[in-house]
Amino acid sequence: MKAAVIKDYEAPVEISEVDAPALADDSVLVDVHAASLNPIDNILRAGHLKEMIPLQFPHVMAYDVSGVVRAVGKDVTGFKVGDRVFARPNQEDAGALAEVARVKAAELALNPANLTHAETASIPLAGLTAWQALVDKAGVQPGQKVLIHAGSGGVGTLAIQIAKHLGAYVATTVSPRNAELVRSLGADEVIDYHSQDFAQLLSDYDMVFDMLGGETLEKSFKILKKGGHLVSIKGQDEKDQAKDYGVKFDWFFMEPNGTQLTTLAGLLEDGTLKPVIDSEFAMADVAAAYDKLADGHAVGKIVVNVAA
């Protein structure tokens, strides 16, 4: 089958012929229609996590997948050939930018009926990351104040909407060009990170969701109330500030979860959530898609349409 692969760390992304994945008893095979890109793709490609997550080459790129079930393992229930499905597969099954992908049934959900494959492919990793940060880690409650950094990114655009669904007051940091977008997604307060210092403007927050790390993470502790919660997907509390400020800190990697994807599908179907897509690329232009991802300015998600 054709797939977008890298043949070594720091290698270019190229289209190559590779073996299709074999069907496993607890999994399905999916004819891939669309996949979306995430920053972790280029982080792994650069070899920054090679000790934690070593890659085997050729490595098929990308995680988020939307497509149609072509085969079902003997232990799988709840899915059948022909179902439109989406997922963020586990690391072993990663490889969404291919004609066929393998996904464990436990990591799979039926597509929202009102979305295209491209729209659906934009959801899994970002949506699960936002849900697990806001719900599983922080347990956000109605009336709480939540700051979401990088609100115009793939995770941020969904995190704003999920936080509003949970009943929170939401502030977010973005560049001026994306201010109206995040307001349209439900942000109550928009901080221009070019000209404003969120740590001087905000206080008494219940939760901060950090996707930037570094100085932004360090300053975020200052705006939390006692007992507040900082959740990061980017950096660690290297100075043990959580203890100093009397707050809780969590760093995490999202986990594939078909049940949570089903919940997100319901919120997408009823209009509570909407996907935000920066751009779409053909499979033949996948290298350009990764170049765009690398520039760090995508608004929402970058999607590759795998099926012609």
pLDDT tens for residues 205-223? Answer: 999 999 999 999 999 999 9
Instruction: Judge whether residue 281 has pLDDT over 70.
Output: yes
Tell me the percentage of the chain whose pLDDT exceeds 70: 100
Cα 39 to Cα 49: distance, rounded to the nearest angstrom? 13
Cα 123 to Cα 42: distance, rounded to the nearest angstrom? 18
Cβ within 8 Å of residue 229, ≥6 positions away: 137, 138, 206, 207, 208, 247, 248, 249, 250
Domains of the chain: 2-122+275-305 (3.90.180.10), 126-251 (3.40.50.720)
Classify residue 122 by burial, with Cβ atoms within 10 Å: 0-12, 13-18, 19+: buried
Task: Tell me the backbone φ, ψ of residue 216, rounded to 5 degrees.
Answer: -60, -45
pLDDT in tens, 236-253: 999 999 999 999 999 999
| Tokens, residue 112 | 């929202």
pTM (two decimals)? 0.97
Instruction: Specify the pairing of strand 205-210 against strand 145-148.
Output: parallel
Cβ within 8 Å of residue 239, ≥6 positions away: 218
| Tokens, residue 87 | 């997922």
pLDDT in tens, 123-178: 999 999 999 999 999 999 999 999 999 999 999 999 999 999 999 999 999 999 99
Confidence (pLDDT) at 158 = 98
